Amino acid sequence: MTQSGQYTLTEITEEYLAERQIDKKKYFAGYLIHAKISWRRIFTRTIFSVQSQWEPLKNDGNHYYINIPTGLSRLFSISEQNKCGEIIPLYYNEVMNAIPMPEQKACSCGNCACNDACELVNGVTLTTKVLFTINNIDYIEKTWTRVCPNGDVIEYREIPTKKYNDTIGDAGDYNPDYNNDYLIGNPPFSNFTIVNEIRQNVICKMEVAPCGCIIDNDANIENFNKIVGFNTEWWGKCGNGKKCESKGNINNNDRGEVKASPCGTKILYFPSKHHHDDKHEKLPSFLLVNFQTSGDSCNSQVLVPSYAVDCMKFGIDYHYKRFNNSFSRFDKKAAEYAFVDAENEVIRFLNPINLDFLAQVQDAKILF
């Protein structure tokens, strides 16, 4: 036992074996493992140990992040310090994307940065117009554009057209002169077929790179606005320019958001643009992590307080018996019940308030 009244796992294991009158330490390593498992359970279920630790902010090229502290079993909060020295919590946002998506260009060109300009220009549809209706069926004229590898922007028109199968016409005998007469007020030719004719017209010329992709310059911007018929922002604004912004942090302090990485070893940090810029504050160098420890210590010997020694011994006895086939199911359950009772004793020691009183609080009268 140390001067502070704490025991090491080795000392507790030796006392447990001595109380069982086992003087041979052939399986001492196995009992020590049972002691470690018992201490971890007692520490996390009864001893509510909270630790705060500053972790340096890093960047892996995709995200800002901090490493998860060693010995963390439950994460409570992550905070940053503002310019006034106050600790401001960060919002944990589960919907933030933690896995970067692979970049894929719509035009399948890997030789230049055309900012998806080819796809936008090729996908522009100028007009759709109903030309005529026959038997309640609308025949629509479609117009769209395509860019040739040489930069010519061609307007294509798909026009529904009546193709007459003959020019005899529809005759009618309505007069007593015994001659064929045409119907008045109705189409005289009904023997026709609707076909789609494709017409094309060069409307402008874009400047293109040697690979055939459209160049991002002022001349092409002007031509693009002529194609769509009104002024619009150039494709680069929502391409590599990233003008599109997210809706921001849904937390009211608007400081930023965090999320655990898929690998489980990092906490990703998404700073808020409203506070972390040249006009307000720079990115913090450290983030404060508040967490519950697991009880394991990789830098020093694990120390058990004196009030938990008996509980540790019951824990060693239970973990020794639970997978040992020489003990019956009733013996294993009895050891488990004894261990749980010992845990409750530790809880009562650490929380001296009467538990019966706490159970009756919900039934107490509300006094105004």
> Which residues 6+ apart lie within 8 Å of 262 measured at CB?
98, 99
Report residue 124's pLDDT band, with 50, 70 and 90 as the boundaries: low
Highest mean pLDDT out of 16-25, 292-301, 326-335: 326-335
Summarize the confidence of residues 147-174 as an average pLDDT: 74
Higher pLDDT, 365 or 87: 87
What's the confidence (pLDDT) of residue 6? 82
φ/ψ of residue 259, rounded to 5: -160, 145
Query: Is pLDDT larger for residue 99 or for residue 355?
Result: 99
Helix 9-19 / helix 309-321 crossing angle, nearest 10 deg: 70
Residue 85 has pLDDT above 50, yes or no: yes
Short-list 183, 184, 192, 136, CA closest to 161: 192
- Confidence band, pLDDT 50/70/90 cuts, at residue 249: very low
Is pTM beyond 0.85? Reply is no
Nearest to 317 by CA among 13, 75, 3: 13
Nearest Cα residue to 82 out of 326, 253, 301, 233: 253
pLDDT given at position 168: 64
Could you tell me where the beta strands, DSSP code E, fall in the chain? 6-8, 50-56, 58-59, 64-67, 72-81, 87-89, 91-92, 125-134, 137-147, 152-164, 171-172, 181-182, 192-205, 256-260, 266-271, 286-293, 303-305
Are residues 4 and 10 in contact, defined by beta-carbon separation less than 8 angstroms? Answer: no
Q: What CA–CA distance (Å, rounded) separates 89 from 111? A: 45
H-only helix segments in the chain: 9-19, 28-45, 117-122, 218-228, 309-321, 329-350, 355-360
Higher pLDDT, 228 or 76: 76
C-alpha of 326 from chain center: 50
Diameter over CA atoms, the chain? 137
- CB 93, CB 111: distance < 8 Å: no
| Arithmetic mean of pLDDT over the chain | 75
Residue 162 has pLDDT above 90, yes or no: no
Residue 111 has pLDDT above 80, yes or no: no
Say what the pLDDT of residue 316 is: 94
pLDDT category, 327, cuts 50, 70, 90?
Answer: very high
Q: Identity (one letter) of the amino acid at 119?
A: E
CA 303/CA 191 separation, integer angstroms: 100
Selection from 203-212, 266-275, 344-353 with the highest mean pLDDT: 344-353
The least confident of 132-146, 166-180, 293-307 is 166-180
In what side-by-side order are the strands of the sheet with 50-56?
50-56, 286-293, 72-81, 87-89
As to burial, measured by CB atoms within 10 angstroms (0-12 exposed, 13-18 middle, 19+ buried), residue 83 is: exposed
β-pairing verdict for 125-134 and 91-92: unpaired
The predicted structure's pLDDT at residue 314: 95
User: Where are the domains positioned within the chain?
Assistant: 6-47+295-356, 52-93+253-293, 117-238
Judged against a pLDDT cut of 80, whether residue 176 lies above it is answered with no
DSSP string, 25-59: -TTHHHHHHHHHHHHHHHHHHT---EEEEEEE-EE
How many alpha carbons fall within 13 Å on the CB side of residue 312? Answer: 29
Q: Token digits for 106?
A: 């719509």
Mean pLDDT, rounded, for 55-65: 86
Residue 138 β-bridge partners: 133
pLDDT at 56 over 70: yes
Phi-psi category of 71—alpha, beta or left, where left has phi over 0 and alpha has psi -120 to 50? left
Amino acid symbol at 40:
R
How many Å apart are CA 163 and CA 175, to the nearest integer? 30
Helices (H), 131-243: 218-228
